[in-house]
């Protein structure tokens, strides 16, 4: 688990430093704080998305500093470039083909009286997806 505090002049990553490699620690240097670190005293306000923020972090932010709004990061992550869009289209096509194969297999298996469980059906579905 990690979260970031981004200000106009800096960004701090709050994370368990023991979980990071030496290269990551060297890259971020002093911009890493313990996960449970308190909110900096010179902070005027903190934008927080209550739908995305965990309860411990949300509770650690004094109510007077909290500005609740949807995450600006999620909005930007939702914007896809042409390569990402093409990748999603390709993935949907492959998955659709796997689903058609699975439903054909399922219909044949049920028609022939084969005993199908949720687990066996799921395994077969995953097999068809791996083949694509």
Distance CA 69, CA 58 (A): 13
DSSP strand E in 7-125: where? 11-15, 32-33, 46-48, 66-68
pLDDT confidence bin for 40, thresholds 50/70/90: low
- Name beta bridge partners: 2: 15
Token output for 18:
């023991």
Task: Tell me the per-residue pLDDT of 61-117, one tens digit each, with 9 for 90 and over.
Answer: 889 989 999 988 888 888 999 999 999 999 999 999 999 999 999 999 999 999 999
Query: How would you label 37-70 residue by residue, b for 16+ Cβ within 10 Å and e otherwise?
Result: eeeeeeeeebebeeeebeeebbeebeeeebeeee
């Amino acid at each position: 688990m990690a979260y970031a505090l981004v200000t106009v002049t800096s960004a701090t990553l709050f994370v368990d430093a023991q979980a990071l490699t030496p290269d990551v620690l060297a890259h971020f240097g002093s911009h890493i704080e313990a996960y449970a670190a308190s909110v900096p005293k010179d902070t005027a306000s903190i934008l927080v998305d209550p739908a995305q923020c965990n309860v411990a972090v949300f509770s650690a932010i004094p109510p007077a500093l909290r500005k609740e709004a949807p995450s600006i990061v999620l909005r930007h992550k939702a914007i896809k470039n042409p390569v990402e869009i093409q990748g999603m289209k390709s993935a949907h096509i492959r998955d659709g083909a796997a689903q058609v194969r699975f439903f054909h297999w399922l219909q044949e298996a049920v028609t022939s009286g084969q005993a199908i469980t949720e687990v066996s059906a799921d395994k077969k579905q995953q097999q068809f997806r791996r083949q694509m």
